[in-house]
Chain A
């Protein structure tokens, strides 16, 4: 089966906009997370869509679904998110296996709830790629020169830009593979994980690339939120 996983576990600490996690802020006529879920619902391939939400916001998420997309309640499952992205993914996988059983056929397309501009094309290419390659990342070529520094004061290295990409989401995996690789990691290795694809990279499992889009922006800061509102023609306040 093919599952969507919308990661909405953030608590909005970087936004400083009221007390509302960023995925619940209004973008146009509806909250950011609803835009994202709707795009997953529009994708014909998903058998079920999971939403990982911080325990404090589970009830709120239920209310949003009832208010904005009540017709789709039976296609959506809410699970509590973990302490980080990978824990949330595992919680979602737990929810999947509890309801649908374990299977090597299960694949999961995980996505930041705060990337509501994701396109159907990106979702569909992730599905096609994960069925073929088992592990997929969505990237865009780096437009800016990437500079690395170890101390934040001097350049350590300027890698060849033609090899540089910026990671976006979705990130997609065969469920059995992701579990197997994750549980093979030592605690020290888990600490350096910045995203789910790194689990594969650490264990030398090849991750296929899908072209993202410059427009697939992540709403992380108040500035991003203003840009997103402006793009959609909404008010900036």
Chain B
């Protein structure tokens, strides 16, 4: 059948590409809801390096999506079953490392068409069923899975003293990471450091919050997550190196377009372990959809979701991206195209 793909072809320019898809060996999913990620917004606004823009466009944006199964040749899914989709596409054999770091892996909506399509034809292994989660919340499963992945790596790498864990950032990523850490490490105190008191007020479930300007001199954290990205990464990393206890683990999660200077003298002196974390894989998705069935987690996640009006035209896509610029947290919309 003829499938409609809504591709970004240039800065704020969308065109429809048509492709023929068939009922064959892939699962076909009808997208129901989508969420905008900062990475999508950077492409849409043309804030990526122009060389990167030329290399990666045209492509369909969006890698956070939930939908319903239209067709499944494997018999694993029922018609109409609610699912979330994994945008990471690993190569067939990648050994013992995580799928999201595998050489040869690619990511949908980064040089390959993302989920902004009428129908998504995808290998069965990239489809994860969910239940008991409202679809607008299930939409951000990929986002939650990134936090799950970081928490998994943290658990494997960091030493066992985890009395206080610091999270730098007051945006959506910090919020979701804080949720996952509180659930997964209930004995640890969680401290969140952000820029805006108004945004920090959303973190009602953590033990303490401080604005970056008011961090107590005697604050000590055993480990820390950097969830700022952009310009904020530099200041967050600087703070973390200062307040982290010796041999603490620093999980880097924020994406920055520019290189960030790091005070390596103190990293060496304290024996800090720095771990880069990006994206997620199937196991993280499975953990995420299980975790998100908790009603209190869903309630919390809802607080960072702004539901845009349904997208029924290319004009609506523009409006969703424009409104997202002024939304402090996650923009989610029903997909009617």
Contact = CB atoms under 8 A, between A and B. Distances in A.
Interface string B298-337: 0000000000000010000000000000000000000011
Which of B2, B16, B22 counts the most chain A CB atoms within 10 A?
B2
Interface residues of A, number: 25
Contact of A120 (B18, B71, B80, B119): B119
Interface in A76-129: 116-117, 119-121
B312 A117 contact: no
Given A39-B1, A119-B118, A69 B16 contact: no
Nearest to A39: B1
Given A44-B30, A117-B2, A121-B118, 17 more contacts: A30-B22, A35-B2, A35-B20, A38-B23, A41-B1, A42-B71, A44-B70, A44-B79, A71-B73, A117-B18, A119-B4, A120-B30, A121-B312, A121-B336, A232-B2, A232-B19, A232-B20
A69 B18 contact: no
B28 interface: yes
Nearest to B30: A120
A233 B18 contact: yes
Interface of B: 1-2, 4, 16, 18-20, 22-23, 28, 30, 68, 70-71, 73, 79-80, 118-119, 312, 336-337
Nearest to A230: B18
Nearest to B16: A215
A205 interface: no
A44 B119 CA distance: 13
Which of A35, A42, A71, A117 counts the most chain B CB atoms within 10 A?
A42
Contacts of B73: 71
A167 interface: no
Contacts of B79: 44
A167 to B, nearest CB: 20
Contacts of A117: 2, 18
Nearest to B335: A121
A231 interface: yes
B18 A232 contact: yes
A28 interface: yes
A40 B336 CA distance: 16
Contacts of B16: 215
Interface in A1-50: 27-30, 35-36, 38-39, 41-42, 44
A29 B70 CA distance: 21
Nearest to B70: A42
Nearest to A117: B2
B232 to A, nearest CB: 39
A69 B1 CA distance: 11
A71 B23 contact: yes
14 contacts: A35-B1, A36-B1, A38-B1, A41-B23, A44-B80, A71-B23, A117-B2, A117-B18, A119-B118, A119-B337, A121-B336, A215-B4, A215-B16, A232-B2
Interface in A161-215: 211, 215
A72 interface: yes
Contacts of B28: 42
A39 B2 contact: yes
Interface in A126-144: none
B294 to A, nearest CB: 29
Nearest to A118: B2
A120 B1 CA distance: 11
A39 B118 CA distance: 11
Which of B16, B20, B28, B79 counts the most chain A CB atoms within 10 A?
B20
